[in-house]
Amino acid sequence: MPFYPNAFFASDLSDNVINGVNLALKTAADEFGKYGPVEYWVLGTDKQAALDLINKFCERYYYGPMLPYCNSIETDETREHSMIAYQKIGENAILNNRPMGSAGHNGGFGRGIHNLTSSYPFNFDNLFEGHPPQEDFKTVLHEYFHVVQISSVYNLEREERESKIKPGGTIWMMEGAAEYMANYTLFKLIDNGTIDFEKSWGTLREKMQNKMNNGKLNIEENCPNSKLNEFTYQSCNSAGYDLGSWGVAYLINKVNNQNILLDTFYPNLKELGFEGAFNLAFGFTTEEFYEEFEEFLQLPIEQQLEIIPDI
């Protein structure tokens, strides 16, 4: 269905935020495709503005006794991923003068939509030195890539869905693909002049070098000797993102097709399952890949960076 994503903003957000999120969402849909109704709900820092947005959200989908129920859930600050919890993150970032943000795909299956939520994307307002708008733009692309992934298994039961996009709870493909594709796409569009930012954000290779360093450090400190397929949301979570991006970059480079996930892997995931779609897209087994990738991780960084597009 040819829908562009829809965004909803708390009333305390600036035009910079509104325009930034809207452009990033349109860009994501143009680059990654359209997958039915996608709603991106953006919270600010003001509590009353958040409560108004929550009310708008609940009234959009619920009536009768479900309406106060929706409100009570989404205004519960202790509840992870409640809308008010996202508002708190933004409020605390300002209070503590620390750049903290969060965004996520929070389901929507029962309503036939993709429901995404974001805390205050302050980088669009240039609030913190060294954190330009590109960071928030990248986050929107990352979250939208989860729409691509989840769309590929959308109408399956929860367990089957999870086992296909995160087999055994492993997150390297889910988060690594979202993170790599978001970064690659952003740098590609900057490089070819499609989008323009005031300040530079460095290069894709610099970002990937940081991910290699951070990923290895994270393993050393938190889960020594863990392999790519052992990272979960509970164990070595951030290595799942950082080295997961490298795993995906490795696979993309192997088949020399930056669109392989969109063209082949995800369109076949539902039918063939993770292993089958992986074999089809990349021409070898996950077992063989995990072994090769461990060897790749031992190479000097200069050699590793050769697989990353120079943009």
Kindly list the residues in this chain that would bind Zn ion in the complex (CB under 5 A). 175, 178
Q: Which is nearer to Zn ion, 55 or 163 (CB)?
A: 163
Least spacing, CB of residue 175 vs Zn ion, in Å:
5
Rounded to an integer, what distance in angstroms lies between the CA atom of residue 181 and that of residue 244? Answer: 11
Residue closer to Zn ion, measured from CB, 70 or 180: 180
In the complex, least distance from residue 253 CB atom to Zn ion, rounded to whole angstroms: 22
- Nearest Cα neighbor of 147 from 184, 176, 178, 180 is 178
Report the DSSP beta bridge partners of residue 40. 7, 116
Q: How many CB atoms lie within 10 A of CB 97?
A: 9
φ and ψ at 118, to 5 degrees?
A: -140, 140
Taking the complex as a whole, the smallest distance from the CB of residue 47 to Zn ion amounts, in Å, to: 26
Q: Are 79 and 48 in contact (CB under 8 A)?
A: no
Q: Which is nearer to Zn ion, 143 or 230 (CB)?
A: 143
User: Minimum distance between the CB of residue 142 and Zn ion, rounded to whole angstroms?
Assistant: 6
> Considering beta carbons, is residue 91 or 143 the nearer one to Zn ion?
143
Least distance to Zn ion, CB of residue 288, Å: 26
CB-nearer residue toward Zn ion: 53 or 148 = 148
8 Å CB contact between 47 and 87? yes
CA torsion sign for 256, 259, 263, 264 is: positive
Instruction: Read off φ and ψ for residue 6, nearest 5 degrees.
Output: -115, 135
Residue number of the CB atom closest to Zn ion: 178
